[in-house]
Chains A and B, each alone.
Chain A
Amino acid sequence: MLTEEIYRGLGLSSEEYQKILKLLGREPTLTELAMFSVEWSEHCGYPRSRAYLKLLPKKGKFKPLVGEDAGGIILEDLAIVFKMESHNHPSYVEPKQGAATGVGGIIRDIFTTGARPVALLDSLRFGQLANLYNRYLFRGVVDGIQSYGNCVGVPTVGGEVYFDPSYNGNCLVNVMCVGIAPKDKLMRAQAKGEGNLIIYAGASTGRDGIGGCSILASKEFKENEEKRPTVQIGDPFTEKCLIEATLEAVATQGVIGIKDMGAAGLTCASSEMASAGDAGVEIDLDLVPRREEGMSAWEVMMSESQERMLLCVKKEKAKEIIDIYRKWGLNCVIIGKVIKTKEVIVKEKGQIVAKLKAKDLTSAPLYNMAYQEPECLKEINKLDIDSLPLPEDFNQVMLKLLSSENLCSRNWVYEQYDHMVQTNTVLLPGLGSAVLRIKGKNKALALTTDCNSVYCYLDPFVGTQIAVSEACRNLVSVGAEPAGVTDCLNFGNPEKPDRYWYFKNCIEGLISACKFFNIPVVSGNVSFYNESPQAVIKPTPTIGMVGIIKDLKFIRTPFFKKEGDLIVLLGETLPELGGSEYLKEIHNQVRGKPPALDLNKELSLQKAVLTAIEKGLISSCVDCSEGGISLALFEGCVTGKEIKGAFIDNLEFNLREDFLLFSESTARAIISLSKNNLSEIEKIAKKYGVPLRVIGRVIKEPKLVILKNNFALIDLDLEKAFRLWRKSLESLITA
């Protein structure tokens, strides 16, 4: 007899339990109940977000691929497969293993499609570093990413790190992986063809991670809850062997479908493969390789042990495929077969312990959630910028900003990641977007992740549109055409109407912006319940974007190249300080409205920049975002092999000085170019209606000088500032 205590303990509500009774026409077995609980959890079944996810655009300029585990775009004969996923809750419980297994899980989602994983990016968020526990989390997460990513041989080429008090009690670890496959060799996560075999490959099954992702990610943390045993332990060495063996297995053409056993393990893999193939599977748990004795059936079905794959293979190819996995030193055994009835049948010691319709498991309930704008938001949106005191010393303001935790260099992080293995990394980390050449083609991929959660907190719809716009702008700045999006939507408890209001508005912003830019959302992930008694996170819809560089000669970098080159500002600066880093760091306020976004202006800017790049007119390009014009100029000066200076004597001071220098207005970029190219650029800017102003020139001396009426507002020694910028993160962690 199953008690309320049992199903509630598994995270099911009494309505859900009643629904299960109705579907089955009987009481479920314990194993069946466990299977429902994980498949219907927010992590696997998306009952609270699916209604909106359906509305995400699936069309774009490049032909999209939308698959079971990861989607992508088609580039000539190749499929570029990518996906981002969260591992927030496990990382908060155990930062190193939580982050490491996040990396492992997303890599498996990519190579199960038959694609070789070629790049990783990490979008990370923590509470402020002044708090020692946040330092522990930050160090642990970076350590987990480096230990797993470096060993597995997939370069970690980019990402972002932000600190904000709303992540106290809930850090975010969003990991994106990109892979490349010949488009005719793509695999699906399916099981079909009666008599075909179900093969288990990889690490053995233990009690680690039972209910890990699915349960951990489906409720909020309470004080003093003991969660450690549910976090899985990663083994990147096994994963590396699993990648090579799986790609070899796919090449035999004997594989019908593959799915990794990640969240919800064998339950999820077997039922979703059967459901996708419109077939059934029968598996015998006695054949499953184990690392612990005495595991009961439900534990085997729920285990989230890492580095395991489930394959459906043609009977006649089974031996060949098993031999491949064994050559790589991995477990590989036949544990079942495809059956005609569309059921998942699980046997143990000759007894049936579960017999369910695959579709019942994969049709999680769908909930209409209540939503309501938070009452305090109107008040938070108020900001009178004219009442802000004008700083006296702009050099000091600059130094404070470029040593702040959100704007200082991330080299302490990315130098711990192997970002060059596979020898495709053309632009090294720290230069905006990552750029990877595609071997055998005169083309490259540009990759970025973006989200300003302060903007999303102040206005979720516009904030998310800005995240998409900024991702596009980052890709365009290196010479790429934006091609596809993966998203990772991180929010608080969706059962609370104000949290759900944020979710709804963010996703509506995402849908509208992607439709406007004609970019498909090919894959993604939702992470709710990111709140604790300490805080609820600011809404964080992280955008992962992939762009295509059509010719290797179009690749551009942000840094100034040549003394005498002109420095040009494209776009218009408005007095927009709401949610800015300047407002936060210098005036200690997080309020106002995010900068206004005119999607048409944004698109015009991007078109103008890309046209100029493709015509070979631009030496460097950096977009203006956090920190405004001043930080963009700083990046232009210091991110090259040697520091260049900038002499800015022609800014139009139609705004107060601090507004002009630190406003985070959208649709702007700073480019540098040879004098000879100015008239051509002016024509392009005019054609697209983009305001253009030559604001200064590149100089040899390592100084950033910004003049107003012949008075030096900023006169910065860049060698000192550069050292400060590079050392700040490490100092903040060790202080």
Chain B
Amino acid sequence: MRWGVAVFPGSNCDQDCFYVVRDILGEQVRYVWYEETDLRDLDCLILPGGFSYGDYLRAGAIARFSPVMEALVDFAEKGGLVIGICNGFQILLEAGLLPGAMLRNKNIHFICKYVYLRVENTHTPFTNLFKEGQVVRIPIAHNEGNYYIEDEGLLELKNDKQILFRYSDKEGRLTPEFNPNGAKDFIAGIISKEGNVLGMMPHPERASEKILNSQDGLLVFKSIVNWFKRC
């Protein structure tokens, strides 16, 4: 299986994702410069976190016009797997590959801390090694992670089981106190209708080694490898 990690000017989690895929998973991976237009050699592309173009104007709003994004649309249409993490998620929203938008965190501050997530759907390329309802610990680090979607869209997300992760407490209960950024319906991560594009605000690459206090995030990457083997 071949992985790519996109690099936009201002990406800053690209090397972290690369490290997890190559050094922890032992998979083949290359960087994909934002001007590239040919992704045919890849099976999975990660849009990493960071501040693409300084997040000037609006998070992800400039990066979505990069040449690589056109190629990505084509790549996703053909069934290629895409994960947008944090700023990557914001870019996918700006590009219209996932529904909804991000507002500023409810406390109007950047928030960096470990949070609990409840896994909502395990029948996907990204979560097949989790257990339904499992509560995992993965950190967030963002200014604009307050996910918003109008009620109609939310209903669709629910009906199509597109919500993969929700912020919860340690026991998996959904309470406002444990919704760090105020996201609608506690949403932390969603997939596209077709199921091959994931956007999530928490950083699984930061929770992929025992020494970093959690290995729960590694299951996202391992699920992909597992799914790919089965196809």
A residues touching B (Cβ–Cβ < 8 Å)?
146, 150-153, 235-238, 240-241, 328-329, 414-423, 425-426, 428, 437, 439, 552
Contacts of A418 in B (CB 8 A): 110, 112, 141
Q: Scan residues 1-33 of chain B and give those whose CB is less than 8 A from a CB of chain A.
A: 9-10, 12-13, 15-16, 19-20, 23
Bitwise interface map of B from 39 to 60 toward A, beta carbon under 8 Å scored 1, else 0: 0000000000111011110000
Say yes or no: B15 contacts A240, CB within 8 Å. Answer: no
Say yes or no: A415 contacts B113, CB within 8 Å. Answer: yes
Contacts of B209 in A (CB 8 A): 423
Bitwise interface map of B from 207 to 231 toward A, beta carbon under 8 Å scored 1, else 0: 0110111000000000000000000
With known contacts A235-B54, A241-B10, A425–B111 Cβ distance under 8 A: no
Say yes or no: A439 contacts B19, CB within 8 Å. Answer: yes
Give chain B nearest CB distance to A140 CB in angstroms: 13
With known contacts A237-B10, A328-B9, A329-B9, A150–B141 Cβ distance under 8 A: yes
Quick check: is B205 within 8 A (CB to CB) of the other chain? yes
Contact of B12 among A235, A421, A425 (CB under 8 A): A421
B residues touching A (Cβ–Cβ < 8 Å)?
9-10, 12-13, 15-16, 19-20, 23, 49-51, 53-56, 109-113, 139, 141, 143, 203, 205-206, 208-209, 211-213
A-B contact pairs, 17 of them (CB 8 A): A146-B110, A150-B141, A151-B12, A237-B10, A240-B9, A240-B12, A240-B51, A329-B9, A415-B113, A420-B139, A420-B203, A421-B16, A422-B15, A422-B16, A423-B205, A439-B19, A439-B23
Give chain A nearest CB distance to B22 CB in angstroms: 12
Say yes or no: B54 contacts A236, CB within 8 Å. Answer: yes
Q: Which of A152, A237, A418 has the most CB of B within 10 A?
A: A418
A150 to B112, CA, bound (A): 10
Say yes or no: B51 contacts A420, CB within 8 Å. Answer: no
Contacts of A423 in B (CB 8 A): 16, 19-20, 205-206, 208-209, 212
A146 to B141, CA, bound (A): 11
Contacts of B20 in A (CB 8 A): 423
A153 to B213, CA, bound (A): 20
Contacts of B15 in A (CB 8 A): 422
Given contacts A151-B12, A417-B112, A419-B112, 19 further A-B contacts (CB under 8 A): A146-B110, A150-B51, A150-B141, A237-B10, A237-B53, A240-B12, A241-B10, A329-B9, A414-B112, A415-B111, A416-B109, A416-B111, A418-B141, A421-B16, A422-B15, A423-B205, A425-B212, A426-B211, A552-B211
Say yes or no: B54 contacts A237, CB within 8 Å. Answer: yes
Say yes or no: A421 contacts B212, CB within 8 Å. Answer: no
Contacts of A414 in B (CB 8 A): 112
A302 to B109, CA, bound (A): 36
Which single residue of chain A is at the shortest CB-CB distance from B55?
A: A151
Contacts of A236 in B (CB 8 A): 51, 54
Contacts of B19 in A (CB 8 A): 423, 439
Which single residue of chain B is at the shortest CB-CB distance from A414?
A: B112
A150 to B87, CA, bound (A): 12
Contacts of A146 in B (CB 8 A): 109-110
